[in-house]
Amino acid sequence: MKVLANDGLAQSGVSALEAAGFEVLLTTVAQEQLENFINEENIDVILVRSATTVRQELIDACPSIKIIGRGGVGMDNIDVQYARDKGLHVINTPAASSHSVAELVFAHFSGLVRFLHDSNRNMPLEGEANFKGLKKAYAGGIELKGKTLGVLGFGRIGQATAAIALRLGMKVVAFDPFMDAATIALDFIDGQSIDITVNTISKEEVLKQSDFLTLHVPAQDQYVIGASEIESMKDGAYIANAARGGVIDEVALIAALDSGKLGGAALDVFETEPKPAVQILMNPKVSVTPHIGAATGGAQDRIGTELASQIIELLK
């Protein structure tokens, strides 16, 4: 049986699949050529991340496919229900990248409150000639300890992000329409563990209470955060989106940053990805990364292993 990992697959996954007798193809096939390639190679399993889409037309045109796999959580680039209705297995790895995404959120927040994203731009340009001026410009930092983190979407990634906040001494408030509470396990290196239960509250209350707000929601038909939601937030609050592009109204976001309503924003995903708006990229209050939430060696190893395990179980 053949597996096409069109957006790549960690060696952990390749090795596990090959040991089970699968042939793994790591060729990156252009979207418009995918149908012909799958049919010519008689592909049984197609694995994607966020770059490749698997829509109804491709599913109908490629009868050899038995499994569609997504390396990650969100599956908005796959027509999931249609595929399942056609008898295909659709799998993903919801737990594998949670901690990597959570760490990236706090890398952004930590950088924003100490101006690292801006300092790293300006120190190479002005550090020698204007050291004292830059020191003064970046002197008004904020500590995360004692602040409130609001989490919209309290699934695995939201809870992993909350765990980091709790370790930093932050208060956590969360909203999720599908749960009333979640117990966060804080595991420490010496084997000790503490369980902390976080009860969810309304979205409106989360927005009002948050000094820092992080979104961990699936793709939506409408904005989760628009002008009215931003207006209800604390003055000077920070917001992060490492979930899906399009859940924040970026026009309203830039207006709030420019007016001082918001203190800063961290974006790993964008409305117009892969061509983010220049107003986002150039704003000095925005910390940006190119959709790398799950792009760590540890996460990719876990993704590869989990995908391989599911494929082997389903087809062997």
Cite the active site residues.
244, 273, 291
Nearest to 43 by CA among 74, 91, 88: 88
- Give SS3 for 301: helix
Is-contact 224 248, C-beta < 8 A? yes
Strand order across the 262-267 sheet:
171-175, 148-152, 212-215, 237-241, 262-267, 286-288
Residues in CB range of 199: below 8 A, 6 or more apart:
180, 181
- Other C-beta atoms closer than 10 Å to the C-beta of 26 total 13
Give the separation between CA 2 and CA 23, rounded to whole angstroms: 5
- Give SS3 for 95: coil
Give the separation between CA 189 and CA 306, rounded to whole angstroms: 24
Partners of 151 in the beta sheet? Answer: 174, 214
Tokens describing residue 247? 């859940």
Tokens 């595991």: give the residue. 187
Partners of 215 in the beta sheet? Answer: 152, 241
